[in-house]
Amino acid sequence: MKFKTIEQENISTVFLNGEIDMDIADSVREVVFPLIDAGKEVHLNLKDVQYMDSSGISVIVESNQRAKEKNTKVELKEVSAPVEKVLAMARKFL
């Protein structure tokens, strides 16, 4: 998975692609968490993510929790259809 980050004022948009699974989750955290810790608002662009498992959901939940602690936020942008299906299933259990 490749990461591309675009900075615009206090917003960092992280473009993710490929698959977000247990092999990649820590790499995503290594990109996203420092941005949150710096007080940035983080937008996760998921339009090019074809697959996400529970590890990916965990990254999103942890990112949101961390952002609340730092008085900022994380938003999901352009969520792909496969990821939307996974998130919809997860919402049923949350």
Residue-range domains of the chain with CATH: 4-93 (3.30.750.24)
What is the DSSP code string of 49-63? Answer: EEEE-HHHHHHHHHH
Note the pLDDT of residue 80. Answer: 96
Q: Is the pTM of this model over 0.95?
A: no
Residue 3, Cβ density class (10 Å: 0-12 exposed, 13-18 middle, ≥19 buried): middle
Degrees, nearest 5: CA angle 81-15-73: 90
Confidence at 50, pLDDT banded by 50, 70, 90: very high
3-state secondary structure of 23: coil
Q: Percent of the chain beyond pLDDT 70? A: 99
Parallel, antiparallel, or unpaired: how do β-strands 41-52 and 74-77 relate? parallel
Digit-coded pLDDT (tens) for 59-86: 999 999 999 999 999 999 999 999 999 9
CA atoms within 13 A on the CB side of 67: 20
User: Each residue of 22-47: pLDDT tens digit?
Assistant: 999 999 999 999 999 999 999 999 99
* pLDDT over threshold 70, residue 94: no
